[in-house]
């Protein structure tokens, strides 16, 4: 599933191909995505120039002259920049045709992705307005993490993955950040000390920044990938390494299930 780093990588890959370009047409081949693509959407966006790209949580934003397109990749979605005449494949659900002769083509076998358009301030959109802080923004810091962990009995890993508290920290990144901060994933959130909270806030940012730098971990078919998608995997300390020796202390990495997700940790490095 595309996580925050993959969406940011996609944004960076798409950006040079779309900014300043005029939308010739939006061709929707299959409107039945997670939410039905509005019938009015093609006529609303045709003829508009793309001003800039953005991202909020896992939504990719294309800011146009009179509004903003919000695209979510869902569980299995990907975007490709292709010559407009490239034959379509199964699961290619829409084409955003640009005046440069290329198309931004959306493929999504499971159709959990979505496409919306708003003329209002995009941060007021129902899908975005209640989103928690971005982990890479200044709003997510030790003070914020301290505040949201107080009095919380929930395990720290589950708190990190709660998108109403912080957006975009998926399973891989939560496990890796906890390893880097040397904190056991099962610990009650409220048991973290001020020092640990500071370390964890920094670790979350570091792990996501590194994943973005190498182009994400999980998504293979995105545009503009200049890194090898497998590269970040070689840098993982604990994720999917159960039974293998810890890269720091050689103790075997352990795995257990937490909130229906696999959690990995080093019983010796993490306290
Ligand atoms: Zn270790």
Spatial separation of the C-alpha atoms in residues 233 and 241, rounded to whole Å: 10
Provide the pLDDT confidence category of residue 128 given band limits of 50, 70 and 90: very high
Which pTM was predicted? Answer: 0.85
pLDDT at 200 over 60: yes
The 3-state secondary structure of the chain reads CCCHHHHHHHHHHHHHHHCCCEEEEEEECCCECCCECCCCHHHHHCCCEEEEEEEECCEEEEEECCCEEEEECCCCCEEEEEECCCCCCCCEEEEEEECCCEEEEEECCCCCCEEEEECCCHHHCCCCCCCCCCCCCCCCCHHHHHHHHCCCCCEHHHHHCCCCCCCCCCHHHHHHHHHHCCCCCCCEHHHCCHHHHHHHHHHHHHHHHHHHHCCCCCCCCCCCCCCCCHHHHHCCCCCCCCCCECCCCCCECEEEEECCEEEEECCCCCC
Our answer to whether residue 5 is catalytic in this structure is: no
Our answer to whether residue 254 is catalytic in this structure is: no
Our answer to whether residue 3 is catalytic in this structure is: yes
Residues with Cβ within 5 Å of ion ligand 1?
A: 246, 248-249, 251, 266, 268-269
Q: Output the CA 268–ligand 1 centroid distance in Å.
A: 5
Our answer to whether residue 42 is catalytic in this structure is: no
Q: Output the CA 267–ligand 1 centroid distance in Å.
A: 7
Q: Output the CA 173–ligand 1 centroid distance in Å.
A: 17
User: Which tens digits make up the pLDDT trace of 159-182?
Assistant: 999 989 999 899 999 999 999 999
Q: Tell me which residue of 75, 35, 39, 33 sits closest to 58, measured CA to CA.
A: 75
Q: Output the CA 179–ligand 1 centroid distance in Å.
A: 8
User: Which tens digits make up the pLDDT trace of 24-45?
Assistant: 999 999 999 999 999 999 999 9
User: Which tens digits make up the pLDDT trace of 233-254?
Assistant: 668 999 999 999 999 999 999 9
What does the block give as tokens for 51? 């001003």
Out of 36, 190, 261, 271, the active site residue is 261
Q: Output the CA 155–ligand 1 centroid distance in Å.
A: 20
Q: Output the CA 177–ligand 1 centroid distance in Å.
A: 14
Q: Output the CA 258–ligand 1 centroid distance in Å.
A: 20
| CA–CA–CA angle 232, 237, 242 (5° rounding) | 115
- Residue 59: phi and psi, rounded to 5, are -95, 130
Out of 11, 12, 56, 58, the active site residue is 58
């Amino acid at each position: 599933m595309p996580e925050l780093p993959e969406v940011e990588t996609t944004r960076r890959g798409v950006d040079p191909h779309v900014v300043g370009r005029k939308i010739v047409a939006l061709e929707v081949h299959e409107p039945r995505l997670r939410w039905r693509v509005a019938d009015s959407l093609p006529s609303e966006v045709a003829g508009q120039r793309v001003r800039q790209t953005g991202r909020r949580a896992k939504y990719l934003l294309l800011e146009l002259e009179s509004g903003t397109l919000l695209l979510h990749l869902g569980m299995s979605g990907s975007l490709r920049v292709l010559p407009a005449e490239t034959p379509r494949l199964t699961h290619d659900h829409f084409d955003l045709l640009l005046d440069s002769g290329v198309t931004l083509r959306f493929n999504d076998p499971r159709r959990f992705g979505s496409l919306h358009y708003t003329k209002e301030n995009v941060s007021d959109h129902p899908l975005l307005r209640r989103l928690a802080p971005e982990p890479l923004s200044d709003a997510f810091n030790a003070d914020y993490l301290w505040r949201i962990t107080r009095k919380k009995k929930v395990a720290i890993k589950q708190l990190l993955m709660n998108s109403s508290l912080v957006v975009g920290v998926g399973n891989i990144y939560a496990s890796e950040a906890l390893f880097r901060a040397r904190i056991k994933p099962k610990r009650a959130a409220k048991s973290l000390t001020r020092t640990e909270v500071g370390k964890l806030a920094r670790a979350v940012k570091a792990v996501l920044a590194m994943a973005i730098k190498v182009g994400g971990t999980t998504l293979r078919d995105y545009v503009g990938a200049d890194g090898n998608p497998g590269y970040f995997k070689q840098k993982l300390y604990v994720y999917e390494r159960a039974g293998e020796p810890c890269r720091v202390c050689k103790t075997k990495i352990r795995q257990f299930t937490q909130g229906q997700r696999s959690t990995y940790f080093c019983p010796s490095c993490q306290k």
